[in-house]
Amino acid sequence: MEKKTALAALAALGQETRLEIFRLLVKAGAEGIPAGEIAACLDTVQNTASTHLKILSHAGLVRAEREGRVIRYFADMTGFRDLLAYLMEDCCNGAPELCRPVIEAVTCKC
């Protein structure tokens, strides 16, 4: 991942509503969530949610699929993985025990 892409992703997640949307989509998993339902869950108007989703999409953190008249959004786990990998690229400087707590904290407990 390039620095510019990482900065865009971090900036996108640095806003409260976008962070909530991303976490909501991560929780939804492979099912994703229709745009209207995202707006309803966050108690916001649909065009505001759409703007936030567009920013997250441009940052590579969400993806959309059209289902007829409905657009369903999903967390882009590849983009998220790439961001985490970029942030941890220089982690531990040859001492993996320093990174182990971080890796364990982000490992799914499913």
Tokens 């971080």 correspond to 102
What is the per-residue pLDDT across 34-63, written as a single tens digit (0 to 9) for each? 999 999 999 999 999 999 999 999 999 999
C-alpha distances out from residue 27 to 47, 57, 75, Å: 22, 17, 9
Residue range of the domain that includes 39: 3-106
C-alpha distances out from residue 76 to 32, 65, 94, Å: 10, 12, 30
What's the distance, CA 10 to chain centroid?
10
Strand partners, 43: none
pTM of the model: 0.87
What is the per-residue pLDDT across 58-103, written as a single tens digit (0 to 9) for each? 999 999 999 999 999 999 999 999 998 888 887 777 777 877 888 7
CA–CA gap between residue 59 and residue 54 (Å, rounded): 9
Q: How many CB atoms lie within 10 A of CB 73?
A: 25
Counting the structural domains of the chain, the total is 1
CATH number at residue 29: 1.10.10.10
